[in-house]
Structure 1
């Protein structure tokens, strides 16, 4: 159940009682003027007036609340349609290369796409100089005012979006080709076409929360991370096409869903609202360097605790039913920082990355707060990495809309223990496969950063890696051309066997990876299918594959592979999948405190001291206590005992300077050290 705060629910009732509202008092349809500018764009004069901006903000539409009165005090002219290819190419002839990309926007009169915010602003500047007038992007308030055209319903033409106006209004991971010809359907009451759908449109404003006060000519926030887009697009459900629906994007992003329309007129001189206040995870963060205790020689296993908590009512954090896909790091001030996605649907556009801290000296994690969200974009895949020298790296996938196939990777850094973060930078500018980030970034002995990312959104297809040789300033993917792809639909370039792979660098400089699926027959040595191990001797330009000694893992399970500070390599994985029948349930043999073997099931750790050749230490991640726990994510409730540990979950881990391994699943934080893993080893 969502706990998205809306202090103005009474407005929903209020708005439902209003049959009409005085909008555009100074002008009506009969005296709206039109003109054609030098690029052939019809400009419609919009009269001053006031309107209700936003909605009651229920559920995933929380950012539309509070609904508030906005007064547009001056008339402005707005283009009747979105800017088309032929109009944009008068400014930038080279843009013609994008025509037909993804099967979209081939013709002169189709809406231009693949334009970022700065492209749209540059077009306005060019047209302003060309005509000696002031052209710009509409403010978010001007856009919604013009879209509503005096109406209060979700769509300016009706309460529901008419099916006869559909341009493939359904979720598609890859866009279905559709005409983006402007003005195919009737305009709204003020003569504006395609305000609902066709393509999203850039607005002037930085994205930020609404306030309840009545406003005049608002222009958003003084600063921000994302620029507002409005109107919705083809290949997305009608709910995203509503008059009040708010979206936003990284300004540098350009894709097949977003174009723009223009306004003629001076930008309102209104003072913008202040920048958004810091979220809870960034408040009262100590900056003093923490004095860690020396690693203990005695075995340590602490009671498991929950790091995912439902926020309280005054937290104002979007929180959904499905919390999953974590990453974790230690901070130089002694805190632990964990992040994960919260959503109702893993393909959903409501998805948000939340964060929580376990502050130094505390025994319980903070309530979660918003860490990263691109409004109405799926943001599957997150990674955190502290380099030990003062910088924390965050990478994340960002979709065009929903799903998690056509992602870009964005990167941010923090040098103050995760309290503030740099502006998101596009690791690569192309929304494509091989960009679903996996927790597990590491630094090689050469000083390079390596970030694994799933090659495909399905259950198989391998893992790609991104490499930065300049401390995250630029990234590349190994791109050698394989004679024959190893895995179906893997895309170009070499990949690791298995998705959600963990990767480490060996002492000889090779890379080693273990992953989920693409399993390999173990032959005589390891009968049956086994988890694949991948080795690269050329920093990911090519890989060889073999069967490991470990059993495969499946849906709802993600492993950890990392080098410990002590030098050994740690694998944390699962012995079986809980959906297997009891009689077919796999397991592994472990030793108890007396050296007696027993068969155990669920979450286990294995340690190698010879660079992954053998794994002599294997231990079930449980202290033997009977506990009834909630694994969250896809795991749900389970019981621990001497022979049973957590049966599934997405894992992430970090090791703090005191030697404690901090392992998190989709909901639970485990803490133990190498000495504990070694307790019953030979």
Structure 2
């Protein structure tokens, strides 16, 4: 049997890396968001207590037309970036926050802990078409910069105002569809009957039984639920999404032009970045169009943080985006068949 030398193996590795760099980047399928005005926030939101941040005061914001990815960035898209650049979203063994059985984690009163894990770990990446997790806000920025350079377009994270405007798609209440929390299972992947059973089985959690079932105990293939009126999927649930803005404890002094709020970021405290949309682990009342979350810029978590990208103005659909959307449709169909066969 002919043996391959170490030199040959190194050459093959270099060729593989070069091929990945030369491959056409998978651009995200985009939806055009029309310009408009909306009321951002929730006038009933309580004042910040240092942990939960307020969505008050409600205020009017004007937003220019832009494009937003229909789907959250997937494992396959992020893998292409890592293979092309060598980017390390946490070096092996890596560290990624995860849920644990109560009393077994780093914090006695919180069922979560940092643990070895990467964005590509099978438990966090069930398929190429699930949303990528165990990535930080900094990783999301690096991905956007790479895709921008590779395509000549300016991909970026949306501002918090753009995100909420796009998520609402004209809705004025807290929830999509008919505005009732119980209909959430048709519109997004939150904590539901499947999640309750999985958390009890895997973590010994006895959380209150939700009233609907979205068929996904943890994350789901992106686009598995109904889109909103702008054609966007998973704006609530699946994974919470990083936006460009840093944390401010309420909306006092927030921009009114739809731009990202990146100044005066929690003076004297650790900088935090805003997340929106909540995740698969969020109770239905938390899957609100106005609820705000936060994470440190270098935080990596399987509790449910990911991202989607925005583009200024209007761009023609990229051929790679069209092809990728066909792949997503096939992945969703396969998932539906598996669910029906249970």
- When normalised by structure 2's length, the TM-score is 0.61
Match in the other structure for 1:201: 241
Query: Which is greater in Rg?
Result: 1
- Equivalent position SS for 2:54: helix
Q: Counterparts of 1:157 and 1:105 in 2: how far apart (Å)?
A: 29
Choose between structure 1 and 2: higher strand proportion.
1
Counterpart contact for 1:81–1:193, Cα < 8 Å: yes
Counterpart contact for 1:196–1:242, Cα < 8 Å: yes
Q: 1:168 aligns with which of 178, 191, 195?
A: 191
Q: Counterparts of 2:272 and 2:37 in 1: how far apart (Å)?
A: 26
Counterpart contact for 2:75–2:129, Cα < 8 Å: yes
- Equivalent position SS for 2:297: coil
Matches within 5 A, 1:332-411: none
Match in the other structure for 1:259: 306
Residue 236 of structure 1 and its aligned partner are, at CA, apart by 1.9
Match in the other structure for 1:106: 126
C-alpha spacing 1:66/1:45, structure 2 compared with 1 (3 Å): same
State whether structure 2 residue 89 is matched by structure 1 residue 68: no
State whether structure 2 residue 45 is matched by structure 1 residue 87: no
Match in the other structure for 2:142: 122
C-alpha spacing 1:253/1:64, structure 2 compared with 1 (3 Å): same
Matched length: 228
- Equivalent position SS for 2:165: helix
Q: Deviations over 1:474-509 (max 9, x none)?
A: xxxxxxxxxxxxxxxxxxxxxxxxxxxxxxxxxxxx
C-alpha spacing 1:264/1:179, structure 2 compared with 1 (3 Å): same
Matches within 5 A, 1:51-450: 51-59=38-46, 63-72=54-63, 74-93=64-83, 98-100=119-121, 103-161=123-181, 162-165=183-186, 166-169=189-192, 174=203, 177-208=217-248, 209-211=250-252, 215-224=256-265, 225-256=271-302, 257-265=304-312
Counterpart contact for 1:67–1:212, Cα < 8 Å: no
C-alpha spacing 1:213/1:85, structure 2 compared with 1 (3 Å): closer
Residue 238 of structure 1 and its aligned partner are, at CA, apart by 1.8
Q: Counterparts of 2:163 and 2:239 in 1: how far apart (Å)?
A: 14
Q: Counterparts of 1:98 and 1:221 in 2: how far apart (Å)?
A: 27
- When normalised by structure 1's length, the TM-score is 0.32
State whether structure 2 residue 37 is matched by structure 1 residue 50: yes
Q: Counterparts of 2:36 and 2:236 in 1: how far apart (Å)?
A: 21
Residue 40 of structure 1 and its aligned partner are, at CA, apart by 4.5
Residue 248 of structure 1 and its aligned partner are, at CA, apart by 0.7
Q: Deviations over 1:207-233 (max 9, x none)?
A: 112127881123214142100000000
Residue 41 of structure 1 and its aligned partner are, at CA, apart by 1.8
Q: Deviations over 1:538-588 (max 9, x none)?
A: xxxxxxxxxxxxxxxxxxxxxxxxxxxxxxxxxxxxxxxxxxxxxxxxxxx
C-alpha spacing 1:167/1:240, structure 2 compared with 1 (3 Å): closer
Q: Deviations over 1:603-637 (max 9, x none)?
A: xxxxxxxxxxxxxxxxxxxxxxxxxxxxxxxxxxx
Counterpart contact for 1:80–1:191, Cα < 8 Å: yes
- Equivalent position SS for 2:260: coil
Match in the other structure for 1:28: none
Q: Deviations over 1:330-350 (max 9, x none)?
A: xxxxxxxxxxxxxxxxxxxxx
Unmatched runs of 5 consecutive residues or more in structure 2: 1-23, 90-116, 206-215, 266-270, 314-342
Match in the other structure for 1:502: none
Q: Deviations over 1:59-113 (max 9, x none)?
A: 47761110000001x2111100000000111101376953345x33310110000
Residue 239 of structure 1 and its aligned partner are, at CA, apart by 2.4
Q: Counterparts of 1:223 and 1:249 in 2: how far apart (Å)?
A: 17
Q: Counterparts of 2:264 and 2:280 in 1: how far apart (Å)?
A: 29
Q: Counterparts of 1:221 and 1:203 in 2: how far apart (Å)?
A: 11
Q: Counterparts of 2:138 and 2:157 in 1: how far apart (Å)?
A: 11
Residue 43 of structure 1 and its aligned partner are, at CA, apart by 0.7
Q: Counterparts of 2:76 and 2:61 in 1: how far apart (Å)?
A: 35
More relative contact order, 1 or 2 (CA 8 Å, 6+ apart)? 2
Q: Counterparts of 1:263 and 1:214 in 2: how far apart (Å)?
A: 18
Matches within 5 A, 1:519-534: none
C-alpha spacing 1:235/1:139, structure 2 compared with 1 (3 Å): same
C-alpha spacing 1:223/1:121, structure 2 compared with 1 (3 Å): farther
Unmatched runs of 5 consecutive residues or more in structure 1: 1-36, 267-682
RMSD of aligned C-alpha atoms? 2.6
Residue 163 of structure 1 and its aligned partner are, at CA, apart by 4.8
Q: 168-177 or 212-221, which moves further after superposition?
A: 168-177
